[in-house]
Amino acid sequence: GEDVEQSLFLSVREGDSSVINCTYTDSSSTYLYWYKQEPGAGLQLLTYIFSNMDMKQDQRLTVLLNKKDKHLSLRIADTQTGDSAIYFCAEPGTYKYIFGTGTRLKVLA
């Protein structure tokens, strides 16, 4: 079935690294996405990775993809209070995205 799983909460101290994990179901997905939702706002694409890549780095963000285990992670280096948000991983399904439940990241000053 279609199910993308994430842990619900993560709390880190400012300056530490955050790692948000996701497991997905469809091994044929061509792209996998991370979206960020700040309080009271819609979702914004944060980054994505093409399925033939193992890793993608974009400034403070590192995406790791383990296709064998269908595991995706997002690492945020030097986490800041402005990174506090809900982070969703998503894979494209037929006609729609399949979103994870979202991980609420809380950054403690």
23 exposure class (CB count in 10 Å sphere: 0-12, 13-18, 19+): middle
Helices within the chain (DSSP H only): none
Distances (CA, A) of 33 to 71, 100, 108: 12, 10, 26
- Residue 99 touches another protein, criterion: CB under 8 A: yes
The Cβ-side half-sphere exposure at 17, using a 13 Å CA radius, reads 8
Q: Which of 41, 52, 68, 82 binds another protein (CB under 8 A)?
A: 41
Residue 72 binds another protein, judged by CB under 8 A: no
By the rule CB under 8 A, 65 interacts with another protein: no
87 interacts with another protein by CB under 8 A: no
Q: Determine the interface stretch with another protein among 16-24, 40-48, 53-61, 73-81 (rule: CB under 8 A).
A: 40-48
Q: Is residue 31 close enough to count as binding another protein by CB under 8 A? A: yes
Q: Binding residues for another protein, per CB under 8 A? A: 31, 33, 35, 41-45, 48, 88, 92, 94-102
